[in-house]
Amino acid sequence: MDAIERLPKRQRQQLLLQEIEANPFMTDEELMRRFQVSIQTVRLDRLELGIPELRERMKHMAVKTYDQVRSLDLEEVIGEVIDIQLDQSGISIFEIKDEHIFSRTKIARGHHIFSQANSLAVAVINDPIALTASADIRFIRPVKLGEKCISKAYVRSISKGKARVEVFTYVGDEAVFRGNFVIFHSKKEQH
């Protein structure tokens, strides 16, 4: 879409609104590149449309979802849970900071990436008792300082006392981790 900057303001704002609705994690910088306009134009468009900045959007989404999580306390989830549909799916976001990396290489320690995925896999289970029984994991590429990891969990099956949850972690559109988790839970029957 090379001609996007030539779009009339109303059309550009409509496309910006659709883009944010499709991916609420888009930063102003990503929107600037996508629409080939200045950062000020993106911020003004957001302001006129009443769309809060990314941090506020994330906070709003997180407040709606935390009340639903039954298996973990808020501080036990690694990353910030953005969306959760119990026994179906969930999304969390985790920014790699200095305390998560190897100092020489600036690459994230693997247990942080795993912990985000594992805690999300447990959090999507609608049961006060849910524990990881096993995990088949694959690190696809190293994650670096400052990158934001977006994990998406999908409950693939739930049976008596056991659930299978698949988790994909992305940086932007690029997959960096994949895990298949078996979660034990205390439910007597499938619902």
**Strand positions, DSSP E, 1-160:** 80-85, 89-95, 130-139, 148-159
pLDDT above 80 (res 23): no
- Strands 162-171, 130-139: parallel, antiparallel or unpaired by DSSP? unpaired
Specify whether domain 2-51 bears CATH 3.40.50.720: no
pLDDT value, residue 48: 86
Q: Where are the domains of the chain?
A: 2-51, 63-185
> Looking at this protein, which amino acid is placed at residue 10?
R
Residue pLDDT, tens place only, 54-112: 777 766 665 555 556 666 665 677 888 888 889 999 999 999 999 999 999 999 999 99
Radius of gyration of the chain (CA): 19
Q: Looking at domain 63-185, what is its CATH homologous superfamily?
A: Hotdog Thioesterase (3.10.129.10)
pTM: 0.67
